[in-house]
Each structure stands twice: as C-alpha cells, then as structure tokens.
Amino acid sequence: MNKTLNASFFSLATTIITSVLISLPGEAITFVSSRSSLDSNDQLNWSSLGQIFNPFAPNPSAFLPNTFSATSENGLELTVNIPTSSNPEITPPFIFQTAFPPNGIPTNFASGDFLLFSGFIPVPTGPFVPAIGNSGPIEIQFQTPVKAAGTQFAVDDTFEYTALVSAFDQNNTLLGSFSIPGTSSLTLDNSAVFLGVSSDTANIAKLVFNSSEPQRAIAINQLSFVTANTDIPEPVSTASFIGFGLLGLGLKSSQKSQP
C-alpha cells in the first residue's frame, strides 16, 4: 500500500513539473515591423552626438569614428561599430538630417529625421550610376541588455533590396535573424522599413543591421528600445521549487504511513 501511495505521489509530481515547464514562458524572440508596436520606453536620437554633417558645407570634423559610444535619453550606454571600408575613397560614417535641399538630403525617412549613415563616395562615377558606399553592417551593442529594440532602415541609391536584422545575447549567441523587403526613394514619406526585435526577457545585447546590397551605404534613424529592471524567473528554477515541494510532500506522507 505504501509503495502504491509513493508511486502515486511521484507520478503526480512528474506530471505537474512537466506541465509547468511547458506552460512557463521561454526566451522567444520575434520580429517587430513598426515603432508603435515596439512600445519603447527609451530611445537614442543621433542628433544627440552633436556632430551633424552639412552636405552643402562639408566639414571633416563632422565625421564619426567607425566605433563610437552614445547615451540614450534615459542614460543607457551603447557602442556603435561600423567596419572600416577597404576603399579609401569612402567617407567615414556621419550623421545628417533628411530634408529637401538646401536644408538636408532627401530620403524616404520622415522629413527632419537625423540619420546615421555608414559612408560613401560623394562623387558619382557617372550619370545614373549608384554611389559606391560602405555596406556595413551597423552594429549596436547595449551596455545593459534590453527586451526589445528597433529602427527604420534604408539603403542608399537602391530602389529595392532585402533588409536584415540579427539579435545576439551577451555571449554573442544568435537569438534570431529576420529579413524583409525594403525600398528607398527621395520622397520624404516615412516609408523606410522598420526593423525591430522583441524578446520575452531582457537578453538582447547586440543588434546588427545589414542589407543584401554590396557596395551600397546604409542608414538608420533614431533607435527605440525597451529596457527592463527585472527579468521573468527562469523556468527551471521555478519548476525545481515545485518539484522539491512535491517530493517533500510525498516524503511526509510516506513517513506518516509507516508503523
């Protein structure tokens, strides 16, 4: 009788632990296609760096290093890295405001947006020939991992392309990678695609933005993200506590049934 009772308790414990492990949220990562859906609580506007490139009065001091630091509105530190191009004619990265001339450079971001641009050769190689540029990628490293992040993205002088975003954790393990079709134009209509990712926990330590186009510069506007003070408890830990509790209950029952 005691053996049957103990077996029943162990069977019940196994069933409940299995159910908990299945029902507890995992660290799933999903694609986010709009800034409003991201529901961010912090952002980084590139104008905060104070180095804005004026295309009508170029100033070399406005160029950025290929690796630089920035701080979000709420004080989160970030590191940006854009690999140096092998072509010495390509400019370093820079920030410019998108608008119709003479106030800025037209793009298909919203008028007035400040864009981080990977760099290009300003002088065209011929009529209707796309400008050669640094294809990146643009890497964003968060000092403290976030739950979600994203930005709008476009490729210079390329009407249609594939836009890509990849997310990594603090161990540089790939969490997920997504790609969508995008377009570029000079219409200032805010049609630049949004590339965002969201995770169940604050484990996104790095984002990498890229495109399918070689030798074409890429640009992103303000970076939006979701920070979190605490994470959801690990499923295994919760299940372990439940398991220990059930096993203890079984042990007490077994002890009470002994003569």
What are 181-190's pLDDT values in tens digits?
A: 999 999 999 9
d(CA 191, CA 189): 5
Q: Are 45 and 71 in contact (CB under 8 A)?
A: no
What are 143-185's pLDDT values in tens digits?
A: 999 999 999 999 999 999 999 999 999 999 999 999 999 999 9
Structure tokens at 138: 């643009």
Of the pLDDT bands very low, low, confident and very high (cuts 50, 70, 90), residue 249 is very low
What global pTM score does this model have? 0.78
Q: Are 145 and 175 in contact (CB under 8 A)?
A: no
d(CA 113, CA 120): 19
d(CA 157, CA 155): 7
Taking alpha carbons only, the member of 168, 170, 136 closest to residue 153 is: 136
